[in-house]
Chains A and B, each alone.
Chain A
C-alpha cells in the first residue's frame, strides 16, 4: 500500500476512536512541492496527510508542545530516535504518544521550483531504514544488519586534515553568516531548555550583539549541548535560513561519541547518556600528564 494512504487510514482510526486528540504528520505545502508539518484534529481532514521524499522535518520536536494530550506522530527512523531521546530525558510520556513509524526511503533537502531526487548526503550515507520505536509501522521493514553509525562524512575528514588556521577560517565564514534567529534550536528535539544559555542575562554568556565572538560562543555551546544527544535528523540544518553547516559540527561530535563511548543516542529510551556516567579506569587522552 502507498505510504500516504496507510498513514491516512491509521490517522482516521485513531481520531475516530478518540485514541488521540491530534495526529502530527505532513501535508503538501503552499508551493505544491515541499511538505510541511500538518496538525490533524478531525477525522474528516486526514486526506491532507502525505508522505514523500520532501518530508524532512523532524516532527518529534512538536511533541514538546503537546505534552498534556494524547498525540500521534509520524516519524522516520532518525526521528524515532528523537522520541527515545525525549522519552529517556523524561520530556514526554511514552504512553501519551502513538508512534506511526515510516520505513524511510531517505529525504531530499528543500526543493526550489521543481522536485529533485537527490537525497540529502546524510540520507545517502544512512543505514537505518526502519524506525527504532513505533506503535504502527508503515511500509515494509527493510532487512538490515546491526545498526551501525554512519562513517565520518568526507567533508568532516577534509576539515580534520586542514591546518588549524584553515579550519578556523572555514568556521569563521560559516558563523559570520549566522543571524542568531535560533531556528536551529527551535527545530531541534534536543533543545528543550525552558531557558537557553544564550538568553541568560546573569551571567551573560553570549552578548546580544551579532559579531564573531558572540556567534562563535553560540555555535560552540549549542554543538556541545547536543554532543552525545544529537540523533542527526538534520532538522537544525534545514531550518537554518543561511545554510550554516551545523551538520558537520553535529556529525563530528556524534562520530567522536561513537568512537570514545561506543554510544549512539536514541537507540533505546533506557540507555545512559555517556556524559552522565563514567568508567573509573578509562583512558580518554586528557589528564594523563606525568611530571618529571
Chain B
C-alpha cells in the first residue's frame, strides 16, 4: 500500500480514547494513519470539526464514543447520532463518499474492537484514494 490516507479520529475521553489506550497498553497494532484527537464526549463534537478536518486535507474522519446508554454525560452520544446521520447525508450530497466518515461506538474495554475499526476504516478510505471534494489545500 503506497498511498497513505490521512485519517482524523475524534475519540471521546471516557470510552473510545480509553479503548485506544487499552489497545496500546495491550501492544495491539493498528494502522498509523489515524491522528487521534481527544474530545470530552461525542456530544461535544461540533460538525464544524469534521468539516474542518476535510477542509484541511483529511481523507477520512472517524468519530468514536461510548455505546448508547453508556455516555458519561448520559445523552451526548444520542445527540451525536442524530447530528451525524444528517451530516453524513449532507457531505455525501456535496460529493464526499459516505465511506469517508464513520461514527462508531467503542468502550474502554474494547481495545481489540478499536484496532479492528481503525484497520477496517483505514482500508476503506485507502481504497477511495485522496479526498478531492473540497478542492485544493488551504
A and B are partners in one complex rather than unrelated chains = yes
User: Is the CB of A227 closer than 8 A to any CB of chain B?
Assistant: yes
Interface segment, one of B3-11, B22-30, B102-110? B102-110
Which residues between 144 and 198 of chain A lie within 8 Å of chain B, taking CB atoms?
159-160, 164-172, 197
Q: Which residues of B contact A280 (CB under 8 A)?
A: 68-69, 78
Q: Which residues of A contact B51 (CB under 8 A)?
A: 217, 220-221, 224
Secondary structure of the B side of the interface? helix
Pick from B81, B116, B117: contact of A286, CB below 8 A.
B81
User: Is the CB of A209 closer than 8 A to any CB of chain B?
Assistant: yes
User: Is the CB of A207 closer than 8 A to any CB of chain B?
Assistant: yes
Known contacts A167-B94, A228-B86, A291-B116; A209 and B138 CB within 8 A of each other? yes
- Whether the pair B138, A211 counts as a contact (CB closer than 8 A) is yes
Interface residues in A, total, Cβ within 8 A: 46
Known contacts A216-B135, A275-B79, A291-B116; A252 and B102 CB within 8 A of each other? no
Give the docked Cα–Cα distance between A3 and B51 (Å).
46
Best-surrounded residue of B81, B87, B103 (most CB of chain A within 10 A) = B81
- Whether the pair A221, B117 counts as a contact (CB closer than 8 A) is no
Minimal Cβ-Cβ distance residue in A for B65: A287
User: Is the CB of B85 closer than 8 A to any CB of chain A?
Assistant: yes
Give the docked Cα–Cα distance between A253 and B89 (Å).
8
- Whether the pair B138, A213 counts as a contact (CB closer than 8 A) is yes
User: Is the CB of B2 closer than 8 A to any CB of chain A?
Assistant: no
User: Is the CB of A257 closer than 8 A to any CB of chain B?
Assistant: yes
Pick from B56, B90, B96, B104: contact of A253, CB below 8 A.
B90
A-B pair count, CB < 8 Å, reads 123
Known contacts A286-B103, A291-B113; A278 and B81 CB within 8 A of each other? yes
Give the docked Cα–Cα distance between A172 and B90 (Å).
15
Q: Would you give the 0/1 interface string for B31-65, flagging 1 where the beta carbon is closer than 8 Å to chain A?
A: 00000000000000001100110011000000000
Give the docked Cα–Cα distance between A216 and B137 (Å).
11
Give the docked Cα–Cα distance between A228 and B85 (Å).
12
Known contacts A165-B95, A205-B48, A205-B52; A224 and B86 CB within 8 A of each other? yes
Q: Which residues of B contact A275 (CB under 8 A)?
A: 79, 82-83, 86
Give the docked Cα–Cα distance between A132 and B75 (Å).
33
